[in-house]
């Protein structure tokens, strides 16, 4: 009941005319971000973060979160109409969305995608509404050993459950941890890896790094690929929308299953990309017509969109309750909260109660506004893709440069942004994941502080991480996650050897 009262109070703040206006602006900007393959959710939020420096934290986070919701919706437009995933998590949507568009059912495909996105997002928000306060109350019992155990679990989960090669994930994390260590040591006050440069005294600014890693690298990748946009035109009329909505209840089981998968993959480090493919795979496996998938089955559009949006929204739960981002976008938002002087974690729900519940309320309103706006503006945003990239790219580059310069008012940050853009480009060319790198940059110094405080308190005894049931359970779970690929391989070898032995 307390959650409901707090949420109603949050609605009274989020529903002010100023915040509602920011929601609309954020949704529109987010759709553009999602439609343009050269950007994406994390990129758009990172690039536009400096625009919020003059706002109150509540208004700023509402604008940025609505950019995220808009990007989630916008990725489906290019997937269906142009067979170009605007976002990585929209890849699975192209499998059936584009064939539907080729068959003259673009309106039905877009309606299905947007409706699934809305249902998935609302599922994630409901999870945050009722579970985040419980997680936060539980986390108030945490000390340095427990916080390090949670950080360790996050990193181990990325390694153990990630789909990329484990060596590349670890390498990306190591680079991120190295970057996070540059500057002044918060425990001893010593300078580390500054090499006599005054510019490195404050370390690598998180915002400059992510603008380069995401924004600049995507521009370079897009220029290299030389994308040419060719697709189907589409408009959504009320008749098509109502007719499509009338058919969607028959897929209720797929919708529920995809929402559950998405919420789980959002809270764990699986992410929206893995959730979308898992949702699609499960829908195909349990479908009565699995052969129709890939040929224009609406279920193949509904499942990945629902799962991806549930995951993208649920990823904010660990960020708010524990201060641990569940996705790259959540990591960017985490950095934004720190810039505004807010410390994500369990104390946020007691010290900044109005802020938290206003944000949660804006998630409901923002996703509803996003559904209405995106369905009304499909032709407009589809037309953006017909603007030559040679015109769009300089505009994106200029926004990136302004964003980087705004952080400290230093021209050196622009050069640093370009350097990290090249680093991000190299990482992508070599198929190194960027999410573990961003995670390590955001959490690296906090993880190090928790570890060193634990070591100081225990006089160097690692047993401190098993000194009580809570930290011991989390640390053991982290080690199991780290060893999960090896355990799965051993299990496969054991079960794979039995048939051969029986045959013999």
Using a cut of 0.85, tell me whether the model's pTM lies above it. no
DSSP collapsed to 3 states, 38-63: CCCHHHHHHHHHHHHCCCCHHHHHHH
- Reply yes or no on whether the pLDDT at 246 is more than 80: yes
DSSP 229: -
What is the average pLDDT across 123-131? Answer: 84
How far is residue 504's CA from residue 502's CA, in Å, rounded to a whole number? 5
CA distances, 496 to each of 484, 487, 489, 501, 502 (Å):
18, 14, 10, 9, 11
> Do residues 317 and 267 touch, judged by C-beta distance below 8 A?
yes
3-state secondary structure of 264: helix
How far is residue 34's CA from residue 87's CA, in Å, rounded to a whole number? 6
pLDDT tens figures, 451-488? 888 888 888 888 888 888 778 888 888 888 788 778 77
State the chain's mean pLDDT as an integer: 77
Helix (H) or strand (E) run with residue 184 in it = strand 183-184
* pLDDT score, position 156: 81
| Among candidate residues 361, 353, 351, 316, the one with its CA nearest the CA of residue 336 | 316
């Amino acid at each position: 009941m307390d959650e409901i009262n707090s949420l109603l109070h949050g609605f009274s703040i989020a529903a002010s005319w100023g915040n509602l206006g920011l929601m609309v602006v954020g949704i529109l900007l987010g759709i553009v971000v999602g439609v343009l393959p050269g950007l994406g959710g994390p990129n758009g939020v990172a690039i536009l973060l400096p625009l919020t420096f003059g706002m109150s934290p509540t208004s700023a986070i509402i604008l940025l979160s609505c950019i995220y919701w808009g990007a989630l919706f916008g990725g489906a437009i290019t997937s269906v109409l142009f067979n170009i995933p605007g976002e990585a998590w929209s890849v699975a949507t192209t499998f059936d969305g584009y064939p539907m568009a080729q068959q003259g059912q673009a309106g039905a495909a877009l309606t299905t995608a947007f409706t699934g996105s809305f249902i998935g997002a609302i599922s994630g928000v409901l999870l945050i509404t009722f579970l985040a306060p419980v997680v936060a109350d539980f986390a108030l019992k945490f000390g340095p050993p427990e916080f390090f155990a949670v950080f360790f679990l996050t990193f181990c989960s990325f390694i153990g459950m990630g789909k990329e090669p484990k060596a590349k994930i670890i390498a990306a994390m190591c680079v991120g941890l190295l970057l996070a260590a540059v500057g002044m040591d918060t425990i001893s006050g010593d300078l580390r890896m500054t090499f006599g440069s005054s510019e490195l005294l404050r370390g690598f600014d998180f915002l400059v790094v992510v603008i380069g890693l995401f924004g600049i690298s995507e521009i370079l990748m897009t220029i290299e690929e030389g994308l040419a946009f060719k697709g189907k035109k589409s408009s959504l009329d009320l008749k098509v929308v109502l007719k499509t909505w009338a058919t969607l209840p028959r897929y209720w089981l797929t919708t529920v299953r995809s929402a559950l998968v998405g919420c789980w993959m959002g809270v764990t480090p699986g992410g929206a990309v893995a959730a979308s493919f898992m949702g699609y795979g499960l829908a195909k496996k349990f479908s009565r017509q699995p052969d129709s998938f890939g040929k224009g089955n609406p279920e193949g559009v509904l499942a990945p969109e629902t799962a991806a949006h549930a995951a993208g929204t649920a990823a904010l739960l660990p960020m708010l309750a524990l201060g641990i981002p569940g996705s790259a976008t959540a990591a960017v938002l985490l950095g934004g909260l720190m810039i505004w002087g807010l410390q994500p974690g369990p104390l946020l729900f007691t010290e900044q109660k109005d802020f938290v519940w206003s944000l949660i309320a804006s998630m409901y309103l923002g996703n509803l506004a996003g559904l209405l706006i995106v369905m009304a503006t499909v032709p407009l945003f589809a037309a953006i893709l017909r603007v030559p990239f040679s015109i769009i790219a300089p505009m994106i580059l200029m926004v990136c440069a302004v964003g980087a310069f705004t952080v400290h008012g230093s021209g050196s940050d622009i050069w640093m942004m370009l350097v990290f853009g090249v680093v991000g480009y190299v990482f992508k060319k070599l198929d190194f994941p960027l999410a573990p790198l961003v995670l390590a940059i955001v959490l690296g110094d906090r993880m190090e502080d928790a570890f060193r405080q634990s070591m100081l308190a225990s006089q160097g005894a690692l047993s401190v991480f098993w000194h009580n049931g809570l930290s011991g359970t989390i640390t053991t779970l982290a080690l199991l996650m780290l060893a999960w690929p090896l355990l799965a391989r051993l299990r496969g070898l054991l079960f794979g050897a039995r048939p051969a032995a029986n045959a013999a």
